[in-house]
Amino acid sequence: MIQLLFWVAFSILLGVLLYEVFPYKLSEGFEGLVGVGDSKFWAKLVPRRGDIGPEQEEDGFIPDRRYFSGYVDVQRFGVKTDFCRFVQQGSDEKNKFLACGLGGTDKLSSTAFRSPSVRDGFILGRDDYMRDIDGDGRDDYCRIVKQADGTFRSECNSATETGFSAKLVPDSNPPSEIKTLLQFYQGCVFWLRLRDDMLDYAQNLYINTAGDIAVQEVPPRPQTTEALLFNGLNQYVRIGDDPYLNLGSTIQLRSLRAIHFWVRFDEFTNNAHIFDFGNGAGIDNVWMGILHRGNLGTDVEQNKKVLLCGGDSVIPEAPSGAQDAPEMSPQELMKTTDANVEEFTCEGFAVVPKVLPRKKRNKAAEGLVAKTADLCYEIWDKDQRKLRVVIPKVFELGKWTHIVLTAQGTDSFRPDLAFYKNGKLIRVEQSGWLPQRSITEKNYIGRSNWSDVTSQYANKDELFKGALFDFRGYIEQLNESVIQDSYMWGAGMLGLK
């Protein structure tokens, strides 16, 4: 009797095993690429592939880690055993597609379960992720996609039995980080993240670089970015919304309502402009930057005497330079100097000047640099400056600073202008000014339109030296919630929190 029960139990167990394993193998080999996967028990025994993964790729294919790369569940096993990533053959990016190496299918093709290629109309997106949007147990591929009307939303290609559908469907409940990015996209007309690429995520800009300036692209999606570095010598960026690098076709300065960026000054170069959009020096300019070489005078005011002269007196030691003299009235001077012709004899002009000792180098003053600089924002209408805002000591040498300038109110010409530093309001310029020019031809980042202009009265403007990150322009005002979220998002990318 015991033997009979044993064999009955063994038969049932064997039947379950055959039912679970063989239908999957038949499906894999003849009917499709993905098993039924309704049993969570046997699914846990399906291993990840040993020949395909984050560090390994199938021969003949090149992975692109700028886009999604990771383990998901497209077989409905309830466990993430399938490695999905973007690959291409050769150098043509139009051959790129999303492929998944399915768990439990070692030595079989890792690209058979795939999406259409870019050539076939598949839309790429850097803000991508995978999740089950329709509740069928399979993870679908999703990303933020630009719509025909210029807005952005999250859309997905659903996973099926054999691959990813070519049809896009909206994701009504994307992950929280995607919801945050969608909030940043609202009203955005240009967005240079400068994290690991030089792309405009709003897809409106043409970008030209000088001095081989570029963002470090490897590794992609870094947890902490170095952003875009400017050497202050020959590097800057020029942008436009047409191939001729003009602004005005898609992006008009008079439509801008907010500017957003992170900046770090590694040196306060003379009158450095963070951005300068215009038609030349003093013609239709909209620019923001610093004044002179920073606040050297005010930064060292308390220590000025010691640093410059090595003592309590600002007067050099005799006989070098002008010497201290008591205050005298003109009448007293007439009596006690050579001006009193009745008592003093004029000896005439000296033909040999006095030989003064060579002035010693003041080592205490060497290497003296400003630690802070004022923010300056100007708007010009043709050759007339209509607005100039100067905010003291906004920038600190060597430190990242988050800046947002946004219009407030509904006035189309002279709204209030609010300036934010590191997420906090620092200045409201009442009845400010908005740019009036529709088309600008010289639109620089890291360079001033006055850089080539010199005079006997002032040194020319120098190129910006430092780093820039997350540079955006908006045709809508930014509220404090978006500003705070942007500050926290950027601080995380820069490793500041």
Q: Which sign, positive or negative, has the C-alpha torsion 19, 45, 105, 74?
A: positive
Residue 133: which pLDDT band, with cuts at 50, 70 and 90? very high
204-to-10, 237, 254, 256, 307 alpha-carbon distances in Å: 67, 15, 17, 14, 51
pLDDT-based confidence at 24, cuts 50/70/90?
very low
Q: Could you give the domains of the chain?
A: 43-174 (no CATH), 186-297+368-493 (2.60.120.200)
Mean pLDDT of 130-142: 97
CB–CB of 262/364 below 8 Å?
no
Residue 266 has pLDDT above 80, yes or no: yes
Beta-carbon count within 10 A of 417 CB: 24
User: Range with the lowest mean pLDDT among 123-132, 312-321, 384-393?
Assistant: 312-321
Could you tell me how many helices (H) and strands (E) the chain has, helices first? Answer: 7, 23
28: DSSP letter: I
440 vs 382: CA distance, rounded Å = 11
pLDDT band of 413, cuts 50, 70, 90: confident
What is the C-alpha to C-alpha distance for residues 331 and 108, in angstroms, rounded to an integer? 108
- On the question of pLDDT at 270 being above 50, the answer is yes
Burial degree of 220 (CB within 10 A; 0-12, 13-18, 19+): middle
Lowest mean pLDDT among 432-436, 454-458, 492-496: 454-458
Q: Which tokens hold the place of 459?
A: 């040194």
| Contact (Cβ atoms closer than 8 angstroms) between residue 259 and residue 405 | yes
For residue 409, pLDDT over 70 is answered with yes
Q: Are strands 442-445 and 236-240 parallel, antiparallel or unpaired?
A: antiparallel
Helix (H, G, I), strand (E, B) or coil at 263: strand
pLDDT at position 19 over 70: no
pLDDT higher than threshold 80 for residue 278: yes
What the block records as the tokens of 125 is 């997106």
pLDDT at 4: 56
The distance of Cα 341 from the centroid of its chain, to the nearest Å, equals 74
The CA–CA distances, whole Å, from 348 to 211, 246, 341, 351, 352 equal 61, 67, 13, 9, 12
pLDDT of 312:
46
Indicate if the pLDDT at residue 315 is higher than 60. no
> Using CA atoms in the order 111, 112, 113, 114, what is the torsion angle rounded to 10 degrees?
60
Q: How far apart are CA 457 and CA 437, in angstroms?
A: 29
Distances (CA, A) of 491 to 223, 403, 423, 484, 488: 11, 12, 11, 11, 5
Does residue 221 contact residue 68 with C-beta atoms inside 8 Å?
no
Rounded to the nearest 10 degrees, how much is the dihedral formed by the CA atoms of 297, 300, 302, 305? -80
Band of pLDDT at residue 47, cut at 50, 70 and 90? confident
pLDDT over 70 at 188, yes or no:
yes
> pLDDT category, 304, cuts 50, 70, 90?
very low
Rounded CA Rg of the chain: 34
* pLDDT in the model for residue 301: 53
- Per-chain mean pLDDT for the chain: 85
Centre a 10 Å sphere on the Cβ of residue 19 and count the other Cβ atoms it contains.
12
Given a cut of 80, whether residue 7 has pLDDT beyond it is: no
* pLDDT higher than 80, residue 291: yes
Q: What is the pLDDT of residues 324-380, one digit of tens each?
A: 555 666 666 666 666 666 665 665 555 555 555 555 554 444 567 899 999 999 999
Cis peptide before 330 (omega within 30 of 0): no
Of 209-213, 273-277, 458-462, least confident by mean pLDDT is: 458-462
Q: Which class for 324: exposed (0-12), middle (13-18), buried (19 or more C-beta within 10 A)?
A: exposed
Q: Is the pLDDT of residue 82 over 90?
A: yes
The 10s digit of each residue's pLDDT in 158-180 is 999 999 999 999 999 999 999 99
Q: What percent of the chain has pLDDT over 70?
A: 76
- The answer to whether the pTM exceeds 0.95 is no
Q: How far apart are CA 107 and CA 225, in angstroms?
A: 37
Residue 319: asked if its preceding bond is cis (omega within 30°), the reply is yes
